[in-house]
Amino acid sequence: MRAVVMTGHGGPEVLRVQERPDPPVGPGELRVAVRAAGINFADTMARVGLYPEAPKPPSVLGYEVSGEVESVGEGVTDHAPGDRVMAGTRFGGQAEMVTVPADQVLPLPERLSFEQGAAFPVNYSTAYAALVIMGGLSEGERVLIHAAAGGVGISAIQIAKSRGAVIFGTSSASKHDAIRAQGVDHPIDYRSGDFEQEVNRITGGEGVDVIMDALGPTSFRKDYRLLRPGGRLVMYGMSESTTERGRNIPKTLVSLLKMPMATMPWWKSLEVMSENKGVFGLNMLGWWDREGNISRVVDPLMPGLESGQFEPVVAEAFPFDRAGEAHRFIAERRNIGKVVLVP
């Protein structure tokens, strides 16, 4: 089979298409003929060497796919060859074939394309975990979603809209029409101004209830100040420390130095109790390891996906041999929605 192989750590040029053996199929597993594979923040961080949980190079990235069941292992009765499916893959997904445990496989609704299927498992589960399980987002509450035009961002907008929240979203001005169309009430241009000042202006200084942020410590501190009593900040990444070429060493060092004091420095513990705010860290691979699957954050979303309430948005589908270009496309923040790879 052909696969996109991370041959080392560095810029997009380390991604190369190579031939690899077809993966075996064991008891309780099935093998998927991949039609589309998602690219996630974890993949770009793994490529530059900033994701400890990722397999060491040479390795195949990608931890969500859609496609058709190619074969099933002993004991698998819920799926059959030819079924259209989506699956979480814990890396290894950016290949023509991938083997996964049967309990990590979801049916792909007929109304969705394979590209849309590859945009669902990780992005929507991340957004649901952050907004609903950790954030407890309720009707009428205010939510601030950073990078609102990205794959996770659009998933979060749709989930927040379904819960009746008032939605603030940061993106470049050129993407404001797109995020408004998804449900953002207050688009904020993070490039031309300070998002903290703008949120305070719109809310009369009251702030917001829930914030999702994968940018890094530079914005975490501002986020924390924006939380009103009872507010919750969910941190799930550190994209400010990378560029399309790889690790930005100065930014990475600055980010790591800032991290311990970004929100709740140790000496502030008593004051935090008085402020009535909460800070959460979210790592979906860690969640996956602890629970064995992502059912708790995916199963509640399936009715909305089947009915059309949730509609995965695909920015562009790149063939395997343009995987490096796909990573650059994400790093340069040109995408509105999910970027996927197709064999």
pTM score of the predicted model: 0.92
Strand 227-235 to 278-281 pairing: parallel
> 95 lies in a domain?
yes
Final residue of a structural domain among 249, 268, 285: 285
Report the range of poorest mean pLDDT among 3-7, 131-135, 145-149, 215-219. 215-219
What's the pLDDT band for 240 if we cut at 50, 70, 90? Answer: low
What's the pLDDT band for 255 if we cut at 50, 70, 90? Answer: very low
> 222 lies in a domain?
yes
Q: What is the mean pLDDT of residues 141-161?
A: 98
The per-residue pLDDT for 249 is 46
**Number of domains the chain contains:** 2
Residue 259 has pLDDT above 60, yes or no: no
> 52 lies in a domain?
yes
The per-residue pLDDT for 7 is 98
What's the pLDDT band for 269 if we cut at 50, 70, 90? Answer: low
The per-residue pLDDT for 239 is 61
Condensed to tens digits (0 to 9), the pLDDT of residues 185-235 reads 999 999 999 999 999 999 999 999 999 999 877 899 899 999 999 999 999
Identify which has the larger pLDDT, 54 or 210: 210
CATH number of the domain to which 173 belongs: 3.40.50.720
Claim to verify: residue 161 and residue 233 sit in the same structural domain: yes
Claim to verify: residue 258 and residue 160 sit in the same structural domain: yes
> 247 lies in a domain?
yes
Identify which has the larger pLDDT, 243 or 194: 194
The per-residue pLDDT for 208 is 98
Strand 338-342 to 166-171 pairing: unpaired
Identify which has the larger pLDDT, 215 or 96: 96
Residue 246 has pLDDT above 70, yes or no: no
> 296 lies in a domain?
no
Claim to verify: residue 278 and residue 246 sit in the same structural domain: yes
Q: What is the mean pLDDT of residues 63-70?
A: 97
> 62 lies in a domain?
yes
Instruction: Check: CB of residue 187 under 8 Å from CB of residue 169.
Output: yes
Separation between Cα atoms, residue 181 and residue 32, nearest integer Å: 34
Final residue of a structural domain among 250, 269, 285: 285
- Work out the percent of the chain whose per-residue pLDDT is above 70: 91
Residue 256 has pLDDT above 80, yes or no: no
Q: Which domain holds residue 80?
A: 2-120+312-342
- Which residues does residue 233 pair with via DSSP β-bridges, in sequence order? 211, 279
Instruction: Check: CB of residue 199 under 8 Å from CB of residue 190.
Output: no
Q: What is the mean pLDDT of residues 101-112?
A: 96
Identify which has the larger pLDDT, 41 or 323: 323
Strand 246-247 to 15-19 pairing: unpaired
> 300 lies in a domain?
no
Which residues lie below 8 Å from residue 309, measured CB to CB, with a gap of 6+? 158, 162, 303
Condensed to tens digits (0 to 9), the pLDDT of residues 279-310 reads 999 999 889 889 988 899 999 999 999 999 99
Claim to verify: residue 250 and residue 144 sit in the same structural domain: yes
CATH number of the domain to which 51 belongs: 3.90.180.10
Claim to verify: residue 211 and residue 165 sit in the same structural domain: yes
Mean pLDDT of the chain: 91
Separation between Cα atoms, residue 287 and residue 289, nearest integer Å: 5
Q: What is the mean pLDDT of residues 129-151?
A: 98
